[in-house]
Amino acid sequence: MLKLQELEAGYDESMVIRDIDLQVKDNQVVCIMGRNGVGKTTLLKTIMGILPPKKGKVIYMDTDITKKRPSHRAKQGIGYVPQGREIFPKLTVYENLLVGLEAGTEKKIKEDVYTYFPILKDFKKRNGGDLSGGQQQQLAIARALVANPSFLLLDEPTEGIQPNIVQEIQEVILDIKRTSQTSMILVEQDLEFVKNVADYIYVIDHGSVVYEKAVDEINDDEVYHYLSV
Amino acid sequence: MTQIILTLFNGLSLGSILLLIALGLAITFGLMNVINMAHGELIMIGAYVTYVMQNLFLNYAPQQYFDLYFILSIPIALLIAAGVGMILEFSLIRFLYRRPLDSLLATWGVGLMLQQLARSIFGAPNVGVQSPSFLNGGLEVGTLLFPYSRLFIIGLSIVCLVSIYYYFYRTSSGRRVRAVMQNRQMAECLGVSTRKVDLITFAIGSGFAGVAGCALTLLGAIGPTIGTNYIIDAFMVVVVGGVGALFGAVAGALGIGFFNTVFEYVTNASLGKVLIFLLIIAFLQWRPSGLVTSRSRSLD
């Protein structure tokens, strides 16, 4: 589904990620873990195409998309839920979802996003910027889902969010995994959450992969060793 | 009483003219943050399109259809000015989106070139455009006379405003524009082709400058420098109204229009202008970001 080969990327002179090889199979949920500032968000931005890599390749569905614009990648089925949600503040909730349709072929918003997040239906006409952090997170996920992506990038979807919404988001991720062929990369700090949803994990430190294993084989202590400060 | 009504009407009329010339700028400067000094020259292009249309009709169309030239000029001026805007965006402005000072200088240069082009084609002296016969005279109410041409401009500015509103808030293309202006990177990540949106938005802003130029031919003779006379007013309206807010441009235009008329009525033309500038300076001390500011819940 997605393959990263010897990927290097960064800002100006400083390399944030160095030599990352990573692979995501069909219908697989891959979690990326690591301390703050080790390059997790930079990695997702490079996959999405916001940040051009200095070296290496991004291969998606057997085609090299390293040089393609983000809009092209979105149209190829990559959905992105960024850190900080990035909701359009002056567009209504409904309009935010409609912009999400741009990447796909659907013309209408499917009812199932409202089933996942009923609050979005109630707040349809409110401005995105007026929602709370948790509601914006739900909207950001829904906005990525309306286009029927075949690959989802989720950057810390549970960060700073109350437990019952975290629970809700977890259900949604599991449901997508069950009912569709969608693959996911999930950046996450919470090992419990990761163990509930992921199939495979990568731990990153100083911009490189330092640990990788299928989720049912991982040793908690080893992971905590890389996550603790 | 009649004097008050007349002053109010003149204020409304001036406000609608200001609104018409500022609408295009509210899009290119207000929404896209491009300081386009050639905006006045796009107005000039609209005015000359009307002049050319008039001449074509004088020479080639039967006499009884002459008035149609003006009605036809409006969409044609819109299209031609939008086309010029598109060329300008594609060849110059897209390289300057993050460099406001450079774009100020470069577009000013483009403005001078367009002025010179007009001079070479149409000659330096001003040319007149004959108003269509249905806009001669005026509406008499008691002892008051409201010129049809002024009423027409008020109507035209309302039509332009409504169509811009409809485009931005009711069509999918307009929604894409708003999304890109609010969060360019995220819009791109959702599959919106931001390059295309920039091109279209700039073309629309330019097109409305063309419509304004068309309307200005009703008010007097037109010349190569007609744009420079109006560009300051246009920027003033957008800055007072609040950058990025369409409604702000309306309030700014009407406000400046009314105060200008009242000041000119109680003093004289030049002192009135001085007073309006003083008022704007004072106003911007009080509200530096204009009448309508966009605020939203701060995101963490």
User: Looking at residue B137, what is its pLDDT?
Assistant: 87
Q: Tokens 């400060």, residue?
A: A229
| Two structure tokens written together for A121 | 């239906």
User: Does B237 have pLDDT greater than 70?
Assistant: yes
Binary contact (A84, B178; C-beta < 8 A): no
Q: B191, A84: Cβ pair inside 8 Å?
A: no
What is the sign, positive or negative, of the torsion defined by CA atoms of A29, A35, A36, A41?
negative
Instruction: Band the pLDDT of B283: cuts 50, 70, 90.
Output: very high
Say whether B182 and A103 touch across the interface (CB within 8 A): no
The residue of chain A with its CA nearest to that of B193 is A71
Q: Answer whether B188 sits within 8 Å of A71, measured CB to CB.
A: yes
Alpha helices in B32-67 (DSSP H): 39-60
CB contact under 8 A, A131 and B183: no
| Residues within 8 A of A (CB atoms), B 154-183 only | 172, 175-176, 178-179, 182-183
Nearest to A80 by CA among A54, A102, A112, A95: A102
Burial class (CB in 10 A: 0-12, 13-18, 19+), B46: buried
- Measured over the CA atoms of residue A120, residue A121, residue A123 and residue A124, the dihedral's sign is positive
CA-CA distance, B76 to B57, in Å (whole number)? 14
**What does the alpha-carbon distance between residue A35 and residue A226 come to, in Å, rounded to a whole number?**
8
Put simply, the chain A residues between 9 and 68 with a CB less than 8 A from any chain B CB are 48-50
Residue A148 near chain B (CB below 8 Å): no
The answer to whether B296 faces chain A, any CB pair under 8 Å, is yes
A99–B189: do the CB atoms touch at under 8 Å? Answer: no
> Under an 8 A CB cutoff, do A75 and B191 touch?
yes
**H-helix segments, chain A:** 40-48, 70-75, 93-100, 111-116, 119-122, 133-145, 163-179, 191-197, 220-227
Long-range contacts of A133-136 (CB under 8 A, 24+ apart): A133/A85, A133/A160, A133/A161, A133/B299, A133/B300, A134/A161, A134/A162, A134/A165, A136/A85, A136/A87, A136/B299
Min Cα separation A218/chain B (Å): 33
How many C-alpha atoms does B37 have within 13 Å on its Cβ side?
A: 16
| Rg for chain B, CA atoms, rounded | 20
Domains assigned to chain B: 2-286 (1.10.3470)
Q: Which residues of A touch B182 (CB under 8 A)?
A: 88-91
Residue B159: pLDDT over 60:
yes
| Chain A touched by B190 (CB under 8 Å) | yes
One-letter identity of residue A38 = V
A127 near B CB under 8 A: yes
Fold entry, domain A2-227: Rossmann fold (3.40.50)
Instruction: Pick B186's closest partner by Cβ from A82, A98, A147.
Output: A82
- Mean pLDDT, range B59-68, rounded to an integer: 90
The pLDDT value given to residue B247 = 86
Which stretches in chain A have pLDDT values below 50? none
CB pairs under 8 A between A and B: 84
Rg (CA), chain A: 17
State which residue of chain B sits closest to A69, comparing Cα positions: B188
CB contact under 8 A, B182 and A88: yes
Closest CA to B132 of B49, B223, B184, B67: B67
Q: What is the mean pLDDT of chain B?
A: 91
Q: Which residues are CB-contacts of A198 (< 8 A; sequence separation ≥ 6)? A: A29, A30, A31, A186, A215
Q: What is the pLDDT of residue B105?
A: 95
Structure tokens at B156: 């035209």
Chain centroid to CA A219: 24
CA B34 centroid distance within chain: 15
pLDDT digits (tens, 9 = 90+) for B1-48: 888 898 899 999 999 999 999 999 999 988 888 999 999 999 999 999
Give dist(CA B255, CA B291) in Å, integer. 10
Reported ipTM exceeds the 0.90 cut: yes
Express each pLDDT in A73-92 by its tens digit: 999 999 999 998 899 999 99
Alpha helices in A49-132 (DSSP H): 70-75, 93-100, 111-116, 119-122
The predicted pLDDT at position A184 comes to 95
**Nearest-10 crossing angle of helices B226-241, B194-216:** 120
CA A46 to chain centre: 12
Q: CA A203 to CA B112: how far, in whole Å? A: 59
Average the pLDDT over B45-72 and give the result. Answer: 93
pLDDT at B294: 61
The pLDDT value recorded for residue B229 is: 86
From A38, A28, A133, select the one nearest A87 (Cα to Cα): A133
Q: List CB contacts (< 8 A) between A135 and chain B.
A: none
B299 shares contact with chain A (CB less than 8 Å): yes
The structural domains of chain A, with segments of one domain joined by +, span: 2-227
Q: Which of B21, B7, B36, B14 lies closest to B249, judged by CA? A: B21
